Amino acid sequence: MFSTSLTANDLLFMLQGAWVTLKLTAAAMLIGTLAGVVFGLLRAAMPYATLPLSWALDVFRSVPLLIQFVLFNSLKSLVGLDWSAFTVGCVVLGVYAAAFCTEIVRGGVLAVPTSLRRASRSLGMSYWQDLRYIVLPVATRVAFPGWLNLVLSVMKDTALVMWIGIIELLRASQTIVTRIQEPLLVLCIAGLIYYLMSLVVARLGARLERRWQEDD
């Protein structure tokens, strides 16, 4: 007979952790996408002038996220910033996501053929109108799959914030494992929750892509 000491309260605890995971992901992707769009457009428009920006972002893309969390957390105490661990988590994840998103956006913008932009400018559209009505919509369709991958990978990377003391899904699960000593069951449930959250994101994305494909 299957028996477990996992209680409904434990499950609730895990779901609360999952909620934190979702909030972190959303906040990081908001920061990352806004900054990534601005940086990506700048990178595409001025490749040489923005080289230093690209070097800086390379650092954030290359250094393991865990090190970034710990370093930023120490830095925070050093300069006396009064930020909560959650804020630190959002900012570090957001910058990390921005570094990747910049490349995704840049790639999308560069995929818009020059001849298409010439055609829109020839019709009398200004630089900004061309950007708004032609470049961004076309680039979005190109960049979207990469962006969706980024969301899924950031969602999993949020697990690392446990190292700066935030209780998200994985940390919540570990706490329960320590108490009831049923790692297999608890981690399976945690995995399932991650899977379901990713599935929803992937499905929403696929639906959007299908709608665009009907245009093409």
Partner 1 sequence: MIEIDQVHKSFGDLEVIKGVDLTVAKGEVVSIIGGSGSGKSTLLMCINGLEPIQRGSIRVDGIEVHAKGTDLNRLRRKIGIVFQQWNAFPHLTVLENVMLAPRKVLGLGRAEAQEIALKQLAHVGLSDKLEVFPSKLSGGQQQRMAIARALAMSPDYMLFDEATSALDPQLVGEVLDTIRLLAEEGMTMLLVTHEIRFARDVSDRVAFFRNGLVHEIGPPAQVINAPQRPETAEFLKSVR
Which chain residues interact with partner 1 by CB under 8 A?
Answer: 113, 115-116, 118-126, 129, 133-134, 137-138, 141, 212, 214-216
CB of 121 to partner 1, least distance (A): 6
Distance (Å, whole) CA 158 – CA 166: 10
Q: How far is the CB of 127 from partner 1 (least distance, A)?
A: 9
Nearer Cβ to partner 1 (127/195): 127
How crowded is residue 19: how many other Cβ atoms within 10 Å of its Cβ? 12
Which CB sits closer to partner 1, 82 or 216? 216
Which C-beta is closer to partner 1: that of 138 or that of 180? 138
Cα-to-chain-centroid distance, residue 185: 28
Complex with partner 1: residue 24 or 139, whichever CB lies closer: 139
CA-to-CA separations, 106 to 119, 162, 215, in angstroms, rounded: 21, 32, 23
Shortest Cβ 113–partner 1 spacing (Å)? 7
Rounded least distance, CB 215 to partner 1, Å: 5
What is the DSSP track for 109-148? HHTS-HHHHHHHHHTT--HHHHIIIIIHHHHHHHHHHHHH
